[in-house]
Structure 1
Amino acid sequence: MFCVRKSMSGRNYSPGVLIGNWNEDVYLEEELLKDFLHKREKGELLIQKSERLKDNLYKKEHLSISKDGFVHFGDTVLLVNPDDNTSAGRDPTTSGDLSLAVNPEEEEIHRSQKLVAPCGVSAVRSVTPIGRNAFRILSIEGEAMGEPLRFGQNFGLGATGGFPDQMLYLMSDHKTFMNMTKKSHTQSAFMTDELTYLASWQAIFLDPQFRLEYEGFPVPANTKILIVHSYTNQGLAIHRDFYVRTYFGKEYEVNCHTYLDTHKAEKDMNHWVMVTGNPSSDATTMFDRPNPPSEETRIQNAELQDAT
């Protein structure tokens, strides 16, 4: 049984009767459907753009292989903040090795098909090379690609995000009320599309007692160093006590601030490793290789073999 509606004029209408601008509504729905199908065919839907961007950000990257054990201009590396198990009182949830990664805004992920400057950075719980966390060592002062990077020498850090036709550069500037990190309220670090002096960095030897002696020496790969901003003289750091909410989940805040202990030495927040590829396996990095046995362990193993 169906309901009968009564109009102002007293006429009765059944649900099958079309009332109002029904013809315009039908045409509008048809146009919306045609527009949707056309955009889907061309790959222009927001969800399609978002998926393509995420596919590039998570695309596997191949790191450069260091034949001489040093880092060179043009190398593609991971920037890893290694876990320091000796830190007392550390929350277990903050343990593990972290890598620096680009962190685009959610609006840009849905709207664009590439990284858009300015773009944030964060630290992720992964040391697997992908588009997000693979960085290239760039020349600032005209050095040739392939030359070794040296302690105290200016260089740039660029990331493509998995897009070979673009490059963004890690930069920082003095802290201001409008330009500082949200959680630690320190000097911020982010990505830009201009390779200027604000995007210039230096590798510093870890031990402060031998820094002058190592000035000008090649930077070894897969070894702890400091990465210092050339303009502000502040160290690139990961603050494991502060999380940031990103489109990719909960990640760690990255800032540009030098943290010193009671001995005036940089804390593990400022420690970095430029990780290169594993020459014996394309699927792993040098960070995944087991450490060689110490001299004491080798002597003990030799004694056991002689005893047997």
Structure 2
Amino acid sequence: MANVSGRRPRSKIGNWVEELYVEEDAMKEYEERKARGELAAQRVDFLRENIFRPVTLSLTSDGGLHFGDVVMLVNCGGQNRGRSAVSINTNIDSLTKIPFPGIQAPCGISAGRNVHPCIRTAFIITSVDGSPEGSTLHFEQSFALKTTEGFARGLYLTSDLQSFQKCASKSRLQEVNLDDSGSFLSWWKIVHFDPQERLEYEGHPAPANTKVLIVHCKTNNALAVLGNQLIWTPFGQEYEVTAHTFLDSHKAEKDNNHWLLCTSDSG
């Protein structure tokens, strides 16, 4: 029987030249994308680095809220959910580089359980009626909530009437998101959480770090976090945020609608 050699031939076969060129082109493209910071891992790192950059909340000297204050919107939790803060919900495909790197409008929100002051959770109390910066915000007074400038783009917390085409993705309730319009759809007001004392407190200074309702001016629905509606975000599983007033048997708003506008001295 003739000896059969198990060695492979030294000569290359097939379209090896073309395959080599394809590999070289792919490696060249990879290096170019890496140099531009366009690889998926680089974009994720860029997003996390910027959106979790720490922010210093405002310090209140009189216990009240003021126009221009930087605050977090914190829900203390309830029976089926933990403490959470209204947070920017974006991903690497929603970033823009024009005129500088940042999130793109419109942008979603959610309630994250990572309650720390950063670009993702900071909002600025903004005047819509000509009130000067530094002046006191009062119960029932209209105002806007705006993200910080720069990477977060200074977008407004916005809502509108629920419709078949425009509603929250999970609960189908009234949607809340971030937009750059700054119109009447972004007007909110602070309301006392106890309906029996609401009329008495109307026009009084709105307190910081105290349980209140945040009510949308156009629709009169209160900002709410839903513990039974979880959504997946690039930052983990978080609660859905909507504008919907949840009432108990006594016609009082439930803890889904209870918020703290937290300043740096919230403890």
Q: Same fold (TM over 0.5)?
A: yes
The alpha-carbon deviation at position 18 of structure 1 amounts to 4.5
Long gaps (5+) in structure 1? 4-13, 85-89, 279-285, 290-308
- The correspondence for 2:29, drawn from 28, 35, 43, is 35
1:249 deviates by 1.3
Q: 2:184 aligns with which of 167, 183, 197?
A: 197
The corresponding residue for 1:296 is none
The aligned runs of 1:253-268 (5 Å cut-off) are 253-268=240-255
Correspondent of 1:26 among 20, 23, 35:
20
CA distance in 1, matches of 2:12, 2:253: 79
Secondary structure class of the residue paired with 1:26: helix
Provide the secondary structure at the position in 1 that maps to 2:73: strand
Does 2:141 correspond to 1:159?
no
Letter in 2 for 1:239: L
1:82-111 CA distances to partner (integer Å, 9 max, x unpaired)?
135xxxxx34xx2x3211111114532699
Whole-angstrom CA distance in 1 between matches of 2:32 and 2:175: 42
Alpha carbons of 1:162 and 1:101: their partners in 2 closer, same or farther (altered >3 Å)?
Answer: farther
Which residue of the partner structure matches residue 98 of structure 1?
84
Q: CA deviation at 1:158?
A: 1.2
Q: TM-score w.r.t. structure 2 length? A: 0.89
Rounded to whole Å, the distance in 2 between the matches of 1:221 and 1:245 is 31
CA distance in 2, matches of 1:116, 1:46: 18
Q: Select the structure that is richer in helix.
A: 1
Q: How far off is 1:64 after superposition?
A: 0.5
- Aligned residues of 2:105 and 2:155 also touching (Cα < 8 A): yes
How far apart are residue 232 of structure 1 and its match?
Answer: 0.5
Give distance in 1, aligned partners of 2:254 and 2:197.
Answer: 17
With structure 1 as the length reference, what TM-score do the two structures score? 0.78
Q: Which has the higher contact order (CA 8 A, sep 6+)?
A: 2
**Structure 1 16/244 Cα, relative in aligned 2: closer, same or farther at 3 Å?**
same
Matched, 1:243 2:238: no
Is the CA contact (8 Å cut-off) linking 1:47 and 1:110 kept in structure 2? no
Partner of 1:108: 94
Deviation string, structure 1 residues 190-214 (Cα, Å, up to 9, x no partner): 1112111111111111222222222
CA drift of 1:241 comes to 1.7
> Quick one: which of 47, 54, 60 aligns to 2:48?
54
Offset at residue 114 of structure 1 (A): 1.9
Name the structure 1 match of 2:73. Answer: 79
Describe the SS at the equivalent of 1:212: helix
Q: What is the number of equivalent residue pairs in this alignment?
A: 260
Aligned partners of 2:12, 2:243: CA distance in 1, in Å? 69
Paired AA for residue 163 in structure 1: F
Determine the C-alpha separation between the residues in 1 that align with 2:42 and 2:115.
28
| Cα distance, 1:273 vs structure 2 | 0.6
Contact 1:101–1:122 (8 Å) recurs in 2: yes
Match of 2:3 in 1: none
Match of 1:16 in 2: 11
2:124 is aligned with 1:136: yes
Contact 1:115 1:161 (C-alpha < 8 Å) held by counterparts: no
**1:69 Cα deviation (Å)?**
1.0
CA RMSD of the aligned region, Å? Answer: 2.2
| Cα displacement string for residues 108-137 of structure 1 (whole angstroms, at most 9, x for unaligned residues) | 269994211111111111321122111111
3-state SS of the aligned residue for 2:151? Answer: coil
Equivalent in the alignment of 2:39: 45
Q: Is the 8 A contact 2:96 2:103 kept in 1?
A: no
Amino acid at match of 1:236: L
Q: Assess if the C-alpha contact under 8 Å between 1:98 and 1:126 holds in 2.
A: yes
Q: Distance in 1 between matches of 2:184 and 2:247?
A: 25
SS of 1:253's equivalent in the other structure is strand
Percent of aligned pairs with the same amino acid: 41
Q: State the shift of 1:24 in Å.
A: 3.7
Taking structure 1 as reference, are residues 162 and 272 closer, same or farther at Cα in structure 2, changes over 3 Å only? Answer: farther
